[in-house]
């Protein structure tokens, strides 16, 4: 069976003058998945997404969707749709007209396109707002309309560039859940660009971590979080301590380190407590060890308050061997 939304990037490259924004990346993205392209500002996420959408030409390399090379096709012919960060709704068109716009361009008759627009507005829970103008909607509502507008073309892949970054924290969480629900319901692929590791961990079936135009690592969220392959990924994904091991660097999750107040046989390090931060369900204890610099240890709140630790105190650290992951140089 052909996988309608299986995407393959082959040595895909984007240059802007002397800048190499995307550096010959190879990546397969299975169909029907929620994929997050994660990385810091300037690492090439938007350039990659725009090349997939056809809003940016590839300098070299190929984009293959469902076995077809779509590298040089115009955006509307690719089977992809893009939702922009700014939503880019037409201010003078009603919500329904905005959603139906691309069908109008395709010459679909008015009755059909209005019916389709109504279905899509229902999907994003905006049925009651069809007659309004974009300026009469909140940011979150405008975003739902933008989603409906992108989905009306029945894309096999929806591309989203930082779709949640303009929303306040409360709405961001709500829309995050909503995006995941939509992707599940529609069964198509979503490729979502974000610089937020929380967002990627919460949403993605598959995370692709980019750095400097290259892919550093890709995998399931728990693989990337548990076993970062490089120091960059360990630092970017957060929650890890990086230390020098016998042969290269190691990453150990802050919540996988045990903190002892007395020397124990398995303690690998002794350290001094520099800071204690109460985080609600846990307490972050920052310690300094002679050879490793500052390390962070996450202690559950119950364990911490059963046996509180003071700043300046000497402590001993241990971890299980399987929780120390070697990092590639
Ligand atoms: P991200 O989305 O990860 O922040 P971008 O893909 O937007 O990264 O940018 C990657 C690199 O390409 C950056 O160095 C950026 O300055 C550069 N860049 C992006 N768009 C353009 C452009 N239109 N012209 C020149 N340089 C660009
Ligand atoms: Mg960007």
- pLDDT tens for each residue of 49-71: 999 999 999 999 999 999 999 99
As to burial, measured by CB atoms within 10 angstroms (0-12 exposed, 13-18 middle, 19+ buried), residue 16 is exposed
159 Cα to the center of ligand 1, angstroms: 17
pLDDT > 70: what percent of the chain? 98
Q: What SS3 state is found at 97?
A: helix
What is the per-residue pLDDT for 165? 86
The pLDDT tens digits for 167-223 are 888 888 988 999 999 999 999 999 999 999 999 999 999 999 999 999 999 999 999
Hey, which residues does 50 pair with through a beta bridge?
none
Secondary structure class of 161 (helix, strand, coil) = strand
Q: Are 91 and 134 in contact (CB under 8 A)?
A: yes
pTM given for the model: 0.92
Name the phi and psi angles at 311, rounded to 5.
-65, 140
Ligand nearest to the CA of 43: 1
Share of residues in the chain with pLDDT > 90 (%): 85
Q: What is the pLDDT of residue 292?
A: 84
Ligand 2: centre distance to CA 132 (Å): 30
Q: Is domain 240-326 in CATH 2.40.50.140, yes or no?
A: yes
Choose the residue to mutate in 16, 50, 213 for probing ligand 1, maximizing ligand atoms within 8 Å of C-beta.
Answer: 16
pLDDT for res 171: 86
pLDDT band at 290 (very low <50, low <70, confident <90, very high): confident
Q: Do domains 7-226 and 240-326 have the same CATH topology?
A: no
pLDDT band at residue 1 using 50, 70 and 90 as cut-offs: very low
How far is the first Cα of the chain from the last one, in angstroms, to the nearest whole number?
40
Mean pLDDT of 16-20: 96
Q: For residue 202, which of 186, 187, 181 has the smallest C-alpha distance?
A: 181
Proportion of the chain in helix, strand, coil states, percent, rounded to 5: 30, 35, 35
How far, in Å, CA of 81 to CA of 154, rounded? 8
Smallest-distance ligand from the CA of 21: 1
Site to substitute for ligand 1 among 42, 162, 208, 216, most atoms within 8 A of C-beta: 42
Residues having CB within 6 Å of any atom of ligand 1: 16, 19, 21, 39, 41-47
Nearest CA to ligand 1 atom 16: 42
User: Could you tell me the CA-to-CA distances from 161 to 91, 191, 307, 323 in Å, in that order?
Assistant: 21, 8, 46, 34
Nearest atom in ligand 1 to the alpha carbon of residue 48 is 6
pLDDT in the model for residue 317 = 95
- The mean per-residue pLDDT over the stretch 159-164 comes to 93
| Confidence at residue 86, expressed as pLDDT on a 0 to 100 scale | 63
- By CB atoms closer than 10 A (0-12, 13-18, 19+), residue 219 is middle
The domains of the chain are located at: 7-226, 240-326
What single string gives the DSSP state of each residue in 7-31? EEEEEEEEEETTEEEEEEEEEEE-T
Residue 283: pLDDT band (50, 70, 90) is very high
Binned at pLDDT 50, 70 and 90, residue 268 comes out as confident
Average pLDDT along the chain? 93
| pLDDT at residue 133, as a whole number | 96
User: What is the reported pLDDT for 85?
Assistant: 62
User: Tens digits of per-residue pLDDT, 74-104?
Assistant: 998 999 999 876 668 999 999 999 999 999 9
pLDDT at site 87: 67
Edge-to-edge order in the sheet of strand 60-65: 19-29, 7-16, 60-65, 68-69
For ligand 1, what atom is nearest to the CA of residue 195? 3
Burial category of 177 from C-beta neighbours within 10 Å (exposed 0-12, middle 13-18, buried 19 and up): exposed
User: What's the mean pLDDT in 5-24?
Assistant: 96
pLDDT-based confidence at 252, cuts 50/70/90? very high
What is the Å distance from ligand 1's center to 89 Cα? Answer: 24
Mean pLDDT score, 272-297: 94
Query: May I ask the CATH architecture of the domain 7-226?
Result: 3-Layer(aba) Sandwich (3.40)
| Residue 158 reports pLDDT greater than 80 | yes
CA 16 to centroid of ligand 1, rounded, Å: 8
Is the pLDDT score of 5 beyond 90? no
């Amino acid at each position: 069976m052909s996988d309608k939304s299986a995407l393959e990037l082959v040595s895909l490259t984007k240059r802007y003058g002397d800048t190499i924004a995307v550096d010959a990346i190879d990546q397969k993205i299975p169909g029907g998945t929620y994929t997050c392209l994660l990385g810091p500002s300037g690492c090439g996420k938007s350039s990659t997404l725009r090349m997939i959408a056809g809003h940016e030409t590839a300098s070299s390399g190929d984009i293959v969707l469902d076995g077809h090379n779509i590298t040089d096709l115009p955006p509307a012919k690719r089977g992809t749709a893009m939702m922009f960060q700014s939503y880019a709704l037409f201010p003078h068109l009603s919500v329904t007209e905005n959603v139906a716009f691309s069908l109008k361009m395709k010459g679909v008759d008015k009755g059909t396109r209005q019916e389709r627009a109504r279905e899509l507005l229902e999907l994003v829970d905006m049925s009651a707002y069809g007659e309004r103008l974009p300026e009469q909607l909140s940011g979150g509502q405008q975003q739902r309309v933008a989603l409906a507008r992108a989905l009306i073309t029945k894309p096999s892949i929806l591309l989203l560039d930082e779709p949640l970054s303009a929303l306040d924290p409360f709405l961001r969480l709500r829309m995050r859940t909503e995006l995941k629900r939509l992707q599940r319901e529609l069964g198509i692929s979503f490729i979502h660009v974000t610089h937020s590791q929380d967002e990627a961990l919460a949403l993605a079936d598959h995370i692709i971590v980019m750095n400097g135009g290259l892919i550093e690592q890709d995998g399931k969220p728990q693989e990337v979080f548990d076993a970062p392959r490089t120091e960059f990924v360990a630092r970017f994904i957060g929650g890890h301590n990086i230390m020098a091991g016998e042969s290269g660097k190691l990453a150990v999750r802050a919540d996988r380190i045990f903190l002892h107040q007395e020397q124990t046989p398995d303690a690998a390090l002794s350290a001094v407590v520099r800071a204690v931060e109460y985080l609600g369900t846990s307490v972050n204890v920052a310690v300094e060890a002679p050879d490793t610099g500052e390390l962070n240890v996450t202690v559950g709140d119950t364990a911490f308050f059963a046996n509180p630790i003071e700043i300046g105190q000497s402590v001993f650290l241990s971890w299980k061997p399987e929780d120390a992951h070697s990092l590639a140089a």
